[in-house]
Amino acid sequence: VLSGCGVYDGTEIHEASAILVHLSRGGAEVQMYAPDVPQMHVIDHSKGQPAEAESRNVLVESARIARGKIASLAKLTTADHDAVIFPGGFGAAKNLSTFAVDGKDCKVNREVERVLKDFHKAGKPIGLCCISPVLAAKVLSGAEVTVGHEEEEGGKWPYAGTAGAIKELGGKHCVKEVTISFPVNFHVERQFSTHVDTKNKVVTTPAFMCEAELHNIFDGIGAMVKNVLKLTGK
């Protein structure tokens, strides 16, 4: 489920690409969706500032990442899918919810809330990375998620305050790394870089919540995807 195109006002493109690569490697068939709604605003990514005179549509922008193969989120049903995954990017907090503005008092897009509740009720896994775990914390009471660390640690974790917001939303936050830098087997790496809420079948990983090397973020997302696929039982 995408939220636009570009980290500051939509989907984090590197995260979406990493998810797609790992899903492809895992043999999964993928369908992409996005809500057919206006973006909260448009950011000029070269300046990091709002482009006041512009307006864009979340579905239309998400189609850039999907290479045009995308459908309205209203068409997503649990019956047709084994799992659902949400990349991060500020679009999750601006277009899929109002978290960027309202914090713990945020509202979640109606279709996003429906999808999360439907997959949860059906016992089908939900994967989220970066900032998107706030969606599960808001919608699924008591869900266990991670956005990484709970302290900024000199700027390494610039969005560490999100962990406190997750607790205020009613979720449980679990401290995790993006990945670990020394050679280990995948089982150990998976424990460090993802959190698996086995009760709710929610799998999360910090990704760009940390100022980390791209390959570490890619590997952490890979661990999340593998856990999601494992939980499908396929």
CATH of the domain at 123: 3.40.50.880
Find the domain containing 113 and state its range. 13-232
Q: Provide the residue type at 11 as one letter.
A: T
- Residue 193 falls inside a structural domain: yes
Catalytic site residue from 129, 130, 174, 210: 130
Residue 80 backbone phi and psi in degrees, to 5: -95, 0
Say how many domains are in the chain.
1
Q: Tens digits of per-residue pLDDT, 63-102?
A: 999 999 999 999 999 999 999 999 999 999 999 999 999 9
The verdict on residue 117 lying in a domain is yes
Burial class of residue 69 in the structure, from the number of CB atoms within 10 Å of its CB (0-12 exposed, 13-18 middle, 19+ buried): exposed
Residue 110 has pLDDT above 70, yes or no: yes
- Residue 184 in domain: yes
Q: Is 28 within a domain?
A: yes
* Residue 158 covered by a domain: yes
* Mean pLDDT (whole number) for 16-41: 98
Amino acid at 191: Q
* Mean of pLDDT over the chain: 95
Asked whether residue 5 is domain-assigned, the answer is no
**Integer Cα distance of 42 and 110 in angstroms:** 21
3 inside domain: no
6 in a structural domain: no
Is 130 among the residues known to form the active site? yes
